Structure 1
Amino acid sequence: MEGELSAAPRRSSGLPDGGAGGDGGDSPSALLPAEALDLDGDEDDLEVFSKDASLMDMNSLSPLMPTSPLSMINQVKFEDEPDLKDLFITVDEPESHVTTIETFITYRIITKTSRGEFDSSEFEVRRRYQDFLWLKGRLEEAHPTLIIPPLPEKFMVKGMVERFNDDFIETRRKALSTFLNRIADHPTLTFNEDFKVFLTAQAGELSSHKKQGPGLLSKVGQTVRAVALSLRGVKSRPEEFAEMSDFIEAFSQKISLIDKISQRICKEEREYFDEMREYGPIHVLWSESEEDLVDTLRGVASCIDRCCRAMEKRLSGLSEALLPVVHEYVLYGEMLMGVMKRRDQIQAELESRLEAAAHKKADTDLLTAELGRLEDRLECANTALKADWERWRRSMRSDLTAAFRDAAARNVQYYEQCLATWESFLMSQTDLHTKEPSEDKP
């Protein structure tokens, strides 16, 4: 990929290919085609596409900015040729923990690797959701303009039963697994030291490592500074980043609408499925009081039962293959807006110092050195974002295309099964009525 900087070490091979994630997609310049997200223009829901639609505020993100240009140069390497996978991560066995203070879930994380920088080829640790939040924050601090995979939202407690039901735990487990495997497949994030510690350190070691991070006062200072720069804003983004920002806004609006519609469709079809399941037993009961229609009514009940099983399989597939992918990219839209804010913060800081230099508000020699450092930081941040942006677009296009094709194939299979079931039943009834007159003849 042209214009990209290379520094991350090449991963070694030694394990069979497998695991989750991966780039996929077409050429680096391939955008998500408009028709892939276009919906019927007559839909009332398309009012969401208004430019005035509010997007999630990301001012709360205020990570540390790397002070060394070399540290940012070293974070960028994107190869056109795929490397053999050498890091496999499994998230399983959720376990509930109840203390006098809180109740929480931990997940077992098994890591298998052939990398030389790891002390062993296999690790097993347990982590809770707060540990995943810590890892995400550390990655944002170390790589402010790389696109960090999103975590599932923090659950808003409505009741302990709802919070820890099996469906919620399983959904979160899959999302956490996707989060870790996307990091493992990222050419830069996969070599982050905090990621390695997260995968290998036991609970006590991880707690000690967390304490080595930025102190509370430092974080408060960063937050105040980031908010001030955010309010100040930038004079003008470079054209390519302005286009990137426009794409993110339009993409976020469309994918959010698709997410809402998909959730609504699945909910309504689940309700339809629950009602349809009751018709089979009703026809069986009916047949007991209709001697002349016993076979016909039981045949209808059998057809309904087969269609219900096909529909249950289809809904299960949609819930596992389509909805999580669409919702993940809703969260990606929020992450991307945060990345753009962090890039703008670096540019705003440079513009602020340039303004001070123009008015000679500070020591000229110190300003010259600082300006050089800020210019290097901005250039490296821009390079990192542009490279990661191309990689993300390929992955996004591949993931969404696969998810919608899978959903379409499941729909076609379901309707073909239902059609074949009812056609077979009707043929049997036609044959039955054809034979009856001849049997009645003397």
Structure 2
Amino acid sequence: MEITVTDAHREKEGSADSYISYQINTKTNMPGFSAASVSVRRRFQDFVWFHDALSREHPEAVLPSLPDKHRLRGYVRGDRFSQEFVEKRRASLERFMKKIAVHPTLQASKNTRIFLDSRDWNSDLAQQKKQTDDARLDNITDVLMNAFKMVKKPEERFVIMKDEVDKLEENLQGLEKLEQRILKRQEELEADYREFGGAVAGLGALETGITEPLHRFAHTVASFATILNNLSSREDAEFLSELHECLAYCNSVKNVLRQRDQKQLDFEDLSDKLQQKHAERDRLMSNGRLGGSATIGGFFQQKMSELKGVDQERAKQDKIKRVEEDIKQLGNLVDTHLNESTQFSEATAKEYEIFQLQKAKDLRQCLLDYSAGRVEFFEKGEALWGQIIPALEAIQVDDD
């Protein structure tokens, strides 16, 4: 499966409901698609639904991130239709879709096929939303129930995974902060160059004998400030955005690890309840009195029952029977949750391997793009300064 996101287009321009749609082009031999090559148009909110749908369908999957609309500069300025903002978002959405395309589970998802191939999108989207509303509420309830509990017997491999992701996240955050400082310095340097160029141009007005070469020098300085601005814009659009996506990818891994812990917590809670029921049955069977209690309260409870004419042995057997029924039900639940926890754990381990491979590819490409941008900047800078040197050397200086 190969996917590209192209041709961002503003829909309903001039109205309050205006939005940007993107063309998604897919080439695939996956079953279920209407053709080997399909193209559809989707807006950003459709991508959001697609991401959420994949998360519900495959909770064990480490999902790549969508661009954060509140982080991009275009949203901060309120200019979400600017060319810069739209291109940033298009590039981020394409990176998102390319990760989906190479993921062995997500590329085969029914939601992926619907998102990439539906010709009646509004109808299909409404139907899918209706089917998932109840599942979403159930999932929220489960998460809230054990939000503050800790796994009693954590598996070492998942502890190691979390530590690795935490360290990676910390390093990426440090790298992101440093790049932000570099961009701020470059912005200040750009302003200084423009001021410097203006000062040289002013000098040219005074030095009438060399006005032209000084004005050319001032123009060169202004052009250099422009390519410095282009470098900063490129690094903001590519390098910083890719770093932010890597951080969000780390958070996705941590979310899956938390869900795995949730599965284990469910198993541990049910196992504890089962042990309690076994202990309760053992106490009943080892003691001839109702409830198996040797306390003063138990003694008075037994006497009250005798006064009421309760058959102690029958009451005891009835209670043992109820406890054994509870043990049977809990035993089935324990087996079910153990199986679910084991399957989710193995799926998590596989997802972590996919994450490691994708992370290496992302970082490699991220640094390659950064290096290419720097090389292009210095090459343009060298050409600019090289062109002004002959003009400066041609200035006639009277040695006398």
Q: 2:174 matched to which residue of 1?
A: 257
Q: 1:203 matched to which residue of 2?
A: 121
The reply on whether 1:173 has 2:136 as its aligned counterpart is: no
Task: Provide the secondary structure at the position in 2 that maps to 1:375.
Answer: helix
CA contact (8 A) 1:97 1:105 kept: no
Structure 1, residues 283-327: CA drift from partner, whole Å, max 9, x if none? 345423312232541342243245335424433432343122111
The reply on whether 1:147 has 2:65 as its aligned counterpart is: no
Q: 1:113 aligns with which of 2, 17, 28?
A: 28
Task: Provide the secondary structure at the position in 1 that maps to 2:25.
Answer: strand
Bigger mean CA deviation after superposition, 181-190 or 265-274: 265-274
CA contact (8 A) 1:94 1:169 kept: no
Q: 1:364 matched to which residue of 2?
A: 327
TM alignment of 1:391-402, pairs within 5 A: 391-402=354-365
Structure 1, residues 195-245: CA drift from partner, whole Å, max 9, x if none? 1101111323323432442334x4333312211122223113211100111
Q: 1:213 matched to which residue of 2?
A: 131
Percentage identity across aligned positions?
A: 24
Q: Which has the larger Rg?
A: 2
Bigger mean CA deviation after superposition, 312-321 or 348-357: 312-321
The reply on whether 1:322 has 2:239 as its aligned counterpart is: yes
Bigger mean CA deviation after superposition, 159-168 or 108-117: 159-168
Task: Provide the secondary structure at the position in 2 that maps to 1:232.
Answer: coil
The reply on whether 1:187 has 2:104 as its aligned counterpart is: yes
- Which structure shows the higher helix fraction? 2
Do the aligned partners of residues 386 and 136 (structure 1) sit closer, same or farther apart at CA in structure 2, a change above 3 Å counting?
same
Q: 2:319 matched to which residue of 1?
A: none
Once residues 274 and 122 of structure 1 are traced to their aligned partners in structure 2, the CA distance between those partners, rounded to angstroms, is: 48
TM normalised by structure 2 equals 0.76
Q: 2:42 aligns with which of 113, 127, 135?
A: 127
Amino acid at match of 2:121: A
Shift of residue 151, structure 1, vs aligned partner: 1.1
CA contact (8 A) 2:69 2:75 kept: no
Shift of residue 144, structure 1, vs aligned partner: 1.6
Amino acid at match of 2:8: E
Once residues 222 and 351 of structure 1 are traced to their aligned partners in structure 2, the CA distance between those partners, rounded to angstroms, is: 19
CA contact (8 A) 1:357 1:367 kept: yes
Once residues 45 and 340 of structure 2 are traced to their aligned partners in structure 1, the CA distance between those partners, rounded to angstroms, is: 30
Once residues 200 and 306 of structure 1 are traced to their aligned partners in structure 2, the CA distance between those partners, rounded to angstroms, is: 46
Task: Provide the secondary structure at the position in 1 that maps to 2:70.
Answer: coil
Structure 1, residues 81-110: CA drift from partner, whole Å, max 9, x if none? xxxxx3333243232447998554333323
TM alignment of 1:168-317, pairs within 5 A: 168-201=85-118, 202-216=120-134, 218-277=135-194, 279-280=196-197, 282-317=199-234
TM normalised by structure 1 equals 0.69
Shift of residue 412, structure 1, vs aligned partner: 5.1
Q: 2:262 aligns with which of 339, 345, 356?
A: 345
Once residues 172 and 415 of structure 1 are traced to their aligned partners in structure 2, the CA distance between those partners, rounded to angstroms, is: 27
Once residues 164 and 429 of structure 1 are traced to their aligned partners in structure 2, the CA distance between those partners, rounded to angstroms, is: 44
Structure 1, residues 337-373: CA drift from partner, whole Å, max 9, x if none? 2111111111111111111211127633333333222
Shift of residue 192, structure 1, vs aligned partner: 0.3
Amino acid at match of 2:38: F
Shift of residue 169, structure 1, vs aligned partner: 2.5
Bigger mean CA deviation after superposition, 96-105 or 119-128: 96-105
The reply on whether 1:385 has 2:348 as its aligned counterpart is: yes
Task: Provide the secondary structure at the position in 1 that maps to 2:190.
Answer: helix
Once residues 276 and 4 of structure 2 are traced to their aligned partners in structure 1, the CA distance between those partners, rounded to angstroms, is: 54
Shift of residue 182, structure 1, vs aligned partner: 1.0
Task: Provide the secondary structure at the position in 1 that maps to 2:67.
Answer: coil
Q: 2:370 aligns with which of 402, 407, 411?
A: 407
Once residues 215 and 405 of structure 1 are traced to their aligned partners in structure 2, the CA distance between those partners, rounded to angstroms, is: 43
CA contact (8 A) 2:22 2:41 kept: yes
Q: 2:281 matched to which residue of 1?
A: none
Amino acid at match of 1:253: E
Shift of residue 278, structure 1, vs aligned partner: 5.0
Once residues 162 and 77 of structure 2 are traced to their aligned partners in structure 1, the CA distance between those partners, rounded to angstroms, is: 40
CA contact (8 A) 2:62 2:351 kept: yes
Shift of residue 432, structure 1, vs aligned partner: 5.3
Amino acid at match of 2:92: A
Once residues 237 and 100 of structure 1 are traced to their aligned partners in structure 2, the CA distance between those partners, rounded to angstroms, is: 55
Do the aligned partners of residues 230 and 258 (structure 1) sit closer, same or farther apart at CA in structure 2, a change above 3 Å counting?
same
Amino acid at match of 2:329: L
Contiguous gaps of at least 5 residues in structure 2: 278-322
Q: Which has the higher contact order (CA 8 A, sep 6+)?
A: 1
